[in-house]
Amino acid sequence: MRAPQGASRFDNVELMLVDPDSNVRDSLRSVLHHNGFRKLSAAATWAEIRQRLEKTPPDLLITEVDLSDGDVCALIHQLRHQDVGTDPFLPIIALSREPTPDMVKRVINSGADFLLGKPVSADQLTSRIRLLVDCRKPFVVTSNYIGPDRRKSSDRTSNVPLVEVPNVLKALVTGTQPPANTLQMVNRVAGQLNLMKLERLGFQIAYLIDRIVPALEGGLAPNAEASDYVVQLITVTEETVRRCVGTQVAHVGGLCQSMLKVAHSIVEAKHAPSPRDVRLLRPLSDAIRRGLAEMGEAADIARRISQEINR
Helix (H) or strand (E) holding 81: none
DSSP annotation of 13: -
Distances (CA, A) of 4 to 8, 33, 130: 9, 12, 8
**Could you say which architecture CATH assigns to the domain 7-177?**
3-Layer(aba) Sandwich (3.40)
List the pLDDT tens digit at each of the 311 positions of the chain. 344 444 448 998 999 999 999 999 999 999 999 999 999 999 999 999 999 999 999 999 999 999 999 999 999 999 999 999 989 999 999 999 989 999 999 999 999 999 999 999 999 999 999 999 999 999 999 888 999 998 776 565 556 768 889 898 998 898 876 667 777 888 888 988 898 899 899 999 999 999 999 999 888 888 999 999 999 999 999 999 999 999 989 999 999 999 999 999 999 998 899 999 999 999 999 999 989 877 644 444 444 544 454 45
Residue 304 has phi, psi (to 5 degrees) of: -65, -45
Instruction: Give pLDDT, residue 184.
Output: 80
3-state SS record for 147-175 = EECCCCHHHCCCCCCEECCCCHHHHHHHC
Using alpha carbons, select from 32, 27, 67 the residue that is nearest to residue 48.
67
Instruction: Give pLDDT, residue 239.
Output: 95
Instruction: Give me the residue spans of the domains in the chain.
Output: 7-177, 188-309
Q: Three-state SS for 41?
A: strand
Q: How far apart are CA 241 and CA 185, in angstroms?
A: 25
Q: Is the pTM of this model over 0.75?
A: yes
Sheet strand arrangement including 114-117: 39-43, 14-18, 60-64, 92-96, 114-117
Residue by residue, DSSP assigns 241-278 as HHHHTTSTTHHHHHHHHHHHHHHHHHHH-SSSPPHHHH
**Amino acid code (one letter) for 175:** G
**Amino acid code (one letter) for 112:** A
